A and B are shown apart, each in its own frame.
Chain A
């Protein structure tokens, strides 16, 4: 039987889980937003990593057949996305219950309560089909978006359509309901859910028009056409395999918890490891020539020097100020009333970088408004902000000893194109053109990957921890 190892990285903003096999290959990834209940965040990330691992195992099993029948691949990808929609539905029902409960206790007056309840039902009725469509046709499931963000965006949209007088009561109800709903772990039966997903998928394909004439919301491609013409056959052929992976027992041999919230993870103390070591180990495993690692996460930035074994030789981190981290970008996005994902692309359009003096997140927000009033272009301001972040990171790197070849960039912020642009520019300017810069698509998972790799090596046996020492004493 295959052996699997789990790494959980409980960050300040997101919680990540990675499952690897005994060849250090990633077979499952899970990510969710970190919330007040850390243990739920860790459980959700792990559950998602295990679901994802089942689909990975399925694909691995069918690797040879998929080459001949590309529609198998399409089917499995679609299935995973719809599977996520099925999970979403259950969570939405749970949130619905919570909203009803809050309404019941918050609005004492019956008439008012019924009015609000009515609005809540209408809101749900309005946004649910939109989200479903995004899952089924626009691959929402693969975009690493969290339940909270998906629902809140649509909820806000609908609330804003209503009168101003309803804004406050509806937002209050939301604020009071989302956290309890989110802080409770929902248990799913994988097999049941995957069967439901298969039925949903069947409905999707049966109802697909023959062409996309007039309907721009469905993105037709060759694979989809291939699958459409062959759906029943593919579905029947794969059912047996799907049942098999659904029944597969995932034995996690060992696990490691890391990240900002690691001390609060419901893990045995000997399975807890510093995120500095994990990030370095993960980055070094993916890019074995790595000597310098920069990790920009939600609220901290780490510059880490590693040796040829992936061992940390020194590190520097910002533990006084979070300017220049993921949260800084989040704050700026809020200030500009755009989503975090839009920041990078907008900054890429910059024709020049406006100098941002503030090293403080809050003041940077004020500076941004000031510069806007002075007529600077948004893109140029954003370009300056992104450059400012990298300049802070460069100073931290310098403190840790500088950039040595090769240089690997990890953390959630590594997904931002503008950050990568300025990082590349400044690394080359300061340390020469010969530095190889590595950025992996899994960069946000590096800490969890390193953790899983530690778990596989079981190096924790002799690790010093508070608990171990207390037990001796």
Chain B
């Protein structure tokens, strides 16, 4: 039987695969074609600026997570540790350094070009600073641009902060980008891209909000990390990305119309038993195994904070073609790890209520201070405010030594049983009242 939704589903995946394949081919031919390469990070990225100057972006943490999924991170990390990196250093960094030491072969098997520019646009993660300091040593003489992004200490973005960032953009970052690119910024082109960004963002938000539906047509975490790819990496602002989100939007809304459950690597989920909100990045080395524990138990992630790592749109932010630099500044300051703890708690509380979640789960990542600091406090606060059962598991981004399947399964099993038992008792209590 031909399943139309499956066919449609494939289409968005095919588009994304094409996009990635094309990017890595361009990257491997960059030097021959005289294309300049910019290494930059996902949170608060300035992809539109890079693309508007016809340069190619490389995201080291995406390479690291890809290495993790392809089971290469373990040996990369060991190579970095041999070089002197401590056991406690972020494993994205060590994996990336290890990959470079081993010839800088990217996820498609093609070699990645060395950077012409290191663009640090998000400083909320202090490790990023140190990461690029190390890359500078690996690529002596490489150009560097740094944009200081103020932390949302008081829980809001002020005009002063925006002005401060715009000043940096106009006086330092864009001139440096122009110097490396060898051309001037075309602001009309930039505005056109930001318009595409804004449209893609609107579609993305609607895709995420489809999970408010019961049953949810998507898994906002395990599948969400695929869905967010084009928007948070090399494609935001492109026609292709807009096409991708249009397609994804159609598929998801069709699934919702048909009352279908999310798709996982083994097919379609049959029943939605638990709706969860998850905080923290996933583990990449055992991503499939990790995901399977959830879908086998009928658990759907209806909202996650990790899919906001490249930008939070819940408060209405979209890129603005009319105010390009101001909106880029707001974008950088609005990414999830740049929010203060009360803002993060409020956001999670909103997710639990709006997405009718049964529980809240934290995957605490050994490597990531940006996410992990304050998580126990968040957990307690959410427990008190929302009265939902909370769970806590521990793993790492890409260090396979910190993923203990048996321990994680044991905790999750207990957690799901907690949720189920609560449902039963609450029903009984409800009936007796």
Residue in B closest to A313 when the chains form the complex, CB atoms = B389
For A277, what are the chain B residues with a Cβ–Cβ distance below 8 Å? 414, 417-418, 421
A-B contact pairs, 7 of them (CB 8 A): A273-B417, A277-B414, A312-B414, A312-B421, A314-B389, A462-B420, A463-B420
Q: Quick check: is B297 within 8 A (CB to CB) of the other chain?
A: yes
Main secondary structure of the interface of A (DSSP, over half): mixed
> Measuring CB to CB, which residues of chain A are less than 8 angstroms from any residue of chain B?
273-277, 309, 311-317, 319-320, 399, 401, 459, 462-464, 466, 469-470, 472-473
Among residues 395 to 421 in chain B, which have CB atoms less than 8 Å away from a CB atom of chain A? 404, 407, 410-411, 413-414, 416-418, 420-421
For A275, what are the chain B residues with a Cβ–Cβ distance below 8 Å? 414
For B404, what are the chain A residues with a Cβ–Cβ distance below 8 Å? 319-320
Residue in A closest to B417 when the chains form the complex, CB atoms = A274
**Cα–Cα distance between A68 and B59 once the two chains are bound (Å):** 85
For A276, what are the chain B residues with a Cβ–Cβ distance below 8 Å? 414, 418
Residue in A closest to B391 when the chains form the complex, CB atoms = A314
Shortest Cβ-Cβ A-B pairs, 10 listed: A274-B414, A319-B407, A276-B414, A312-B418, A464-B297, A314-B390, A274-B417, A469-B296, A464-B416, A309-B425
A276-B418, A399-B376, A464-B298 are known; give 6 further A-B pairs, CB within 8 A. A274-B414, A314-B379, A314-B390, A314-B392, A464-B273, A472-B270
For A470, what are the chain B residues with a Cβ–Cβ distance below 8 Å? 296
User: If A399-B376, A464-B273 touch, does A459 touch B421 (CB 8 Å cutoff)?
Assistant: yes
Residue in A closest to B416 when the chains form the complex, CB atoms = A464
Residue in A closest to B425 when the chains form the complex, CB atoms = A309
B417 near A313 with CB under 8 A, answer no
Chain B: minimal CB distance from A310 (Å): 9
**Cα–Cα distance between A111 and B296 once the two chains are bound (Å):** 62
**Cα–Cα distance between A320 and B392 once the two chains are bound (Å):** 14
For B247, what are the chain A residues with a Cβ–Cβ distance below 8 Å? none
- The 8 Å CB contact of B417, one of A401, A464, A466, is A464
- The 8 Å CB contact of B298, one of A313, A320, A469, is A469
For A273, what are the chain B residues with a Cβ–Cβ distance below 8 Å? 417
Q: Quick check: is B156 within 8 A (CB to CB) of the other chain?
A: no
Question: Interface extent on B, as a size class?
Answer: 20 to 34
For B407, what are the chain A residues with a Cβ–Cβ distance below 8 Å? 319-320
Q: Mark B377-393, 1 if CB is under 8 A from A, else 0.
A: 00110010000011110
Chain B: minimal CB distance from A452 (Å): 16
B424 near A462 with CB under 8 A, answer yes
Residue in B closest to A467 when the chains form the complex, CB atoms = B296
For B420, what are the chain A residues with a Cβ–Cβ distance below 8 Å? 462-464
Q: Quick check: is B271 within 8 A (CB to CB) of the other chain?
A: yes
For A313, what are the chain B residues with a Cβ–Cβ distance below 8 Å? 383, 389-390, 418
**Cα–Cα distance between A452 and B422 once the two chains are bound (Å):** 18
Chain A: minimal CB distance from B85 (Å): 21
**Cα–Cα distance between A473 and B298 once the two chains are bound (Å):** 11
Chain B: minimal CB distance from A360 (Å): 15
**Cα–Cα distance between A103 and B266 once the two chains are bound (Å):** 54
A401 near B380 with CB under 8 A, answer yes
Residue in B closest to A272 when the chains form the complex, CB atoms = B413
- The 8 Å CB contact of B424, one of A319, A320, A459, is A459
B270 near A316 with CB under 8 A, answer no
Chain B: minimal CB distance from A283 (Å): 15
Q: Mark B59-73, 1 if CB is under 8 A from A, else 0.
A: 000000000000000
**Cα–Cα distance between A313 and B421 once the two chains are bound (Å):** 11
B414 near A316 with CB under 8 A, answer no
For A472, what are the chain B residues with a Cβ–Cβ distance below 8 Å? 270-271
For A401, what are the chain B residues with a Cβ–Cβ distance below 8 Å? 380, 383
B417 near A463 with CB under 8 A, answer yes
**Cα–Cα distance between A314 and B16 once the two chains are bound (Å):** 39
User: If A317-B411, A464-B298 touch, does A473 touch B270 (CB 8 Å cutoff)?
Assistant: yes
For B390, what are the chain A residues with a Cβ–Cβ distance below 8 Å? 313-314
**Cα–Cα distance between A93 and B298 once the two chains are bound (Å):** 51
**Cα–Cα distance between A42 and B161 once the two chains are bound (Å):** 65
Residue in B closest to A401 when the chains form the complex, CB atoms = B380
Chain A: minimal CB distance from B419 (Å): 9
**Cα–Cα distance between A463 and B414 once the two chains are bound (Å):** 11
**Cα–Cα distance between A42 and B215 once the two chains are bound (Å):** 41
User: If A314-B390, A473-B270 touch, does A274 touch B383 (CB 8 Å cutoff)?
Assistant: no
B414 near A319 with CB under 8 A, answer no
Chain A: minimal CB distance from B223 (Å): 18
Chain A: minimal CB distance from B408 (Å): 8
**Cα–Cα distance between A277 and B422 once the two chains are bound (Å):** 11
Among residues 366 to 383 in chain B, which have CB atoms less than 8 Å away from a CB atom of chain A? 376, 379-380, 383
B389 near A319 with CB under 8 A, answer no
